């Protein structure tokens, strides 16, 4: 059995050999605790029929754990300095492809068609750079990729927001956007002490299982998310106030918005954070007809 990359001693040796210095701008924090990595792979239920997309492999600590169980791993690494390191650390494995590209600019449908045509399921598993966590997750979901799920490590506070329920301080447009597409669950908290360099905050591992159909049916998806964003624009304002101020033509449509909310029996004096996804769907469908008619 190969020695794990993710031990403090081996990580330090690799970084020293290549004279690697961390770039704050890329949010680089490497895990130095192999047990946590194996638990991430466990939560992702990776097997020999799984194709895995990894984002930000670093020096390959999680990548090797994935490669030991998956059929194939495709890892996107933005930092050119890590390519020679990955070439060496991952050389024992023949089921890994490293792509030097920003995943936000990648054509993932094409990646999947090219690399995973012989895999029965596809998972995204990654220790995400903190500064781009939300755009990456939203790209993966909005592009409606044929994913079974996403298991990622991210800032604990972001994980809390993603898996939050209505009427809690963490619940917001991010909770709704992610839960619309997936079943979201925080499966584990990870202390900051198991990273180099040590981040300022604790992390969490979240598991998102992609739904066959979104949790609610809405007439107009784009408008639904507009309504959600508007409703949380200022958390202390009422639903009605936010909709009037943040929807296009909201001010002139105020009487209609009020009337519509009354019709569907949703109190405009409530705050956005008290509405469930189902209630937002009701508001969106009712208002989309009003706005269309104008």
- Give the Cα separation of 11 and 3 in Å (integer): 11
| pLDDT, tens digit, 9 for 90 and up, residues 229-282 | 999 999 999 999 999 999 888 899 999 999 999 999 999 999 999 999 999 999
Which residues are registered as beta bridge partners of 271? 238
pLDDT of residue 200: 86
**Residue 29 known to bind ligand:** yes
What residue ranges of the chain have pLDDT lower than 50?
A: none
pLDDT of residue 293: 59
pLDDT of residue 60: 96
CA-based nearest residue to 27, from 174, 158, 217: 158
pLDDT of residue 2: 67
Structural domains of the chain, ranges and CATH numbers in brackets: 8-210 (3.40.50.150), 221-293 (1.10.8.100)
Q: What would the DSSP string read from start to end of the chain?
A: -PPPTTSHHHHHHHHHHHT----GGGT--EE--HHHHHHHHHHTT--TTEEEEEE--TTTHHHHHHHHHSSEEEEEE--GGGHHHHHHHTTT-SSEEEEES-GGGS-HHHHHHHH-TT-SEEEEEEE--GGGHHHHHHHHHHTT---SEEEEEEEHHHHHHHTPPTTSTT-SHHHHHHHHHEEEEEEEEE-GGGEESPPSS-EEEEEEEEPSS-SS--S-HHHHHHHHHHHTSSTTSBHHHHHHHHSTTTTTTHHHHHHHHHHTT--TTSBGGG--HHHHHHHHHHHHHHHHH-
pLDDT of residue 290: 75
pLDDT of residue 95: 98
**Residue 102 known to bind ligand:** yes
pLDDT of residue 294: 54
pTM of the model: 0.93
**Residue 253 known to bind ligand:** no
pLDDT of residue 289: 83
pLDDT of residue 1: 54
């Amino acid at each position: 059995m190969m020695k794990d990359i993710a031990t403090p001693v081996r990580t330090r040796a690799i970084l020293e050999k290549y004279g690697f210095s961390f770039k704050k701008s890329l949010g680089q924090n490497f895990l130095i605790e192999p047990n946590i990595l194996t638990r991430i792979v466990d939560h992702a239920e990776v097997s020999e029929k799984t194709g895995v997309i990894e984002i930000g492999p670093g020096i390959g600590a999680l990548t090797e754990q994935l490669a030991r169980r998956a059929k194939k791993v495709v890892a996107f690494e933005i930092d050119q300095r890590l390519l020679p390191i990955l070439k060496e650390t991952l050389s024992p494995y023949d089921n890994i492809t490293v792509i030097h590209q920003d995943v936000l600019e990648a054509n993932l449908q094409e990646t999947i068609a090219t690399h995973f045509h012989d895999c029965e399921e596809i998972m995204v598993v990654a220790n995400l750079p903190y500064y781009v966590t939300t755009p990456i997750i939203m790209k993966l979901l909005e592009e409606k990729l044929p994913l079974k799920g996403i298991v990622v490590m991210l800032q604990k506070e972001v994980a809390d927001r993603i898996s939050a329920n209505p009427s809690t301080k963490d619940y917001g447009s991010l909770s709704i956007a992610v839960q619309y597409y997936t079943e979201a669950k925080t499966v584990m908290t990870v202390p900051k002490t198991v990273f180099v360099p040590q981040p300022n905050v604790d992390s969490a591992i979240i598991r998102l299982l992609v739904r066959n159909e979104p949790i609610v049916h809405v007439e107009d998806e784009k408008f639904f998310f507009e309504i959600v964003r508007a409703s949380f624009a200022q958390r202390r304002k009422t639903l009605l106030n936010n909709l009037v101020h943040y929807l296009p033509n909201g001010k002139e449509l105020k009487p209609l918005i009020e009337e519509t909310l009354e019709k569907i029996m949703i109190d405009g004096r409530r705050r956005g954070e008290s509405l469930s996804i189902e209630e937002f769907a009701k508001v969106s469908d009712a208002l989309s007809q009003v706005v269309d008619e104008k």
